Structure 1
Amino acid sequence: MNRYTFLKNLGFRGAALMAVLTSCVHEDDTYVPALTLNAQGQTITGPNGTTVTSPTTTSVSTPTSSTATTSDILGIKNPLLTITLATTTGLKNVGGYVILSGIVVAHVTAGTYAAVTQTCSHEPKKKVIFNSTEFYCTDHGARFNLDGTGKNSLAGSGIKSYKVLTDGVTLVVYS
């Protein structure tokens, strides 16, 4: 669900709706949960009934994380981050998180990850962390859902969330 639909469902109409949106409706304002791919190359069903086939051969980079520019990892061209899960201590346990290149990546539930920008929407400070079940700004107390939408008045229009894909060995964060 995008911001426009959400606000309309809350009862905002006409000028009030436009004032709340303040020209910030984008087509990519939807949350796409992470897909987990089977390492054996088998087809699995992801969120919303989508079918995904894991690549049979995957080249995984040696560093724990990198900002790739032209690589094709897990079928994603130009990922923002590539993380090797086995060597990234912060993501080994549910509730853990890491901050890399201004992106907060959290281990939400077993095999499920979420990623958002580290920059808070209340004031542009890089103070967002993962706090058990939500993203949280340590400077202002702004709280954000896993998809980056705001949970309290300090969160405003929310923060940028990223798509996440994993095969259980490598985690890729992309736009």
Structure 2
Amino acid sequence: MTRLEFLKSMGFTGSALMALLTSCVHEEDTVVNALSLSGTTTTTPSTTTTGTSNSTVTSGTTTNGTDLISIKNRLLTIDLTSSAASALKTVGGYITQNGIVVAQSTAGVYVAATQTCSHEPKKAIMFNKTEYYCTQHGARFDLTGKGKNSFGSKGITVYKTATDGKTLVVYS
């Protein structure tokens, strides 16, 4: 159901309807065809994405020299070989866990951000191709957390990631 259909079903008509439809829209806002989630917390889009890496794989430690064991301020530790992390095996795939969205943005490059939108504090952030997207109001954020439209103007928190190829650590 679109916002127009919803407002009409609530009895809004004429100028009241137009006022409601235009009250939250800004010229720079665009519509993103978001992925449909049917009751799961993971999805795998079929398009390739781009992004930046916090670290990538070299035997046992990350390319920035970080030993995964030495990472403090861990927020998540994900076993990339588990079936629960299967969406992360595909570029563009993502999972949500403990209020964090984790995605593989390009081959071997993982990004992570809070699932809570800064526009309104709802856990509605998902990964959508090359950006984070709020399914509630259309707030858009780049992979660094910077807002891409007026709804996302406050930005979101992004986290560091490190992997050795088998384990992915999300930390602050």
Asked whether the two chains share a fold, i.e. TM above 0.5, the reply is yes
What is the CA deviation profile of residues 15-69 of structure 1, one whole-angstrom value per residue up to 9, with x for unaligned ones? xxxxxxxxxxxxxxxxx8411131256x84xxxxxxx3364xxxxxxxxxxxxxx
Aligned: 1:53 with 2:73: no
Query: Contact between 2:57 and 2:108, CA under 8 Å: does it hold in 1?
Result: no
Query: Contact between 2:60 and 2:164, CA under 8 Å: does it hold in 1?
Result: no
- Please give the alpha-carbon distance, in whole angstroms, between the structure 2 residues aligned to 1:54 and 1:38: 10
The answer for the alignment partner of 1:132 in structure 2 is 129
Query: Contact between 1:37 and 1:53, CA under 8 Å: does it hold in 2?
Result: no
**Higher relative contact order, structure no. (Cα contacts within 8 Å, ≥ 6 residues apart):** 2
Per the TM alignment, residue 156 of structure 1 is displaced from its structure 2 partner at its CA by 1.5
Gapped regions of structure 2 (runs ≥ 5): 1-51
Please tell me the root mean square deviation across aligned C-alpha atoms, in Å: 1.8
- Please give the alpha-carbon distance, in whole angstroms, between the structure 1 residues aligned to 2:72 and 2:146: 26
Aligned residues: percent identity? Answer: 56
Per the TM alignment, residue 90 of structure 1 is displaced from its structure 2 partner at its CA by 1.6
Query: Contact between 1:39 and 1:54, CA under 8 Å: does it hold in 2?
Result: no
Query: Contact between 1:34 and 1:166, CA under 8 Å: does it hold in 2?
Result: no
Q: How do 1:46-125 and structure 2 match up within 5 A?
A: 52-53=64-65, 55=67, 73-87=68-82, 88-125=85-122
For these two proteins, the number of residue pairs brought into alignment is 119
State the TM-score, normalizing by the size of structure 2: 0.64
- Please give the alpha-carbon distance, in whole angstroms, between the structure 2 residues aligned to 1:138 and 1:100: 17
**Runs of 4+ in structure 1 displaced over 4 angstroms?**
none
- Please give the alpha-carbon distance, in whole angstroms, between the structure 2 residues aligned to 1:33 and 1:40: 17
| Secondary structure of the corresponding residue to residue 114 of structure 1 | strand
Query: Contact between 1:113 and 1:164, CA under 8 Å: does it hold in 2?
Result: yes
Larger C-alpha radius of gyration, 1 or 2?
A: 2
State the TM-score, normalizing by the size of structure 1: 0.63
What is the CA deviation profile of residues 95-134 of structure 1, one whole-angstrom value per residue up to 9, with x for unaligned ones? 0000010000011000001100000010000000001111
- Please give the alpha-carbon distance, in whole angstroms, between the structure 1 residues aligned to 2:60 and 2:78: 19
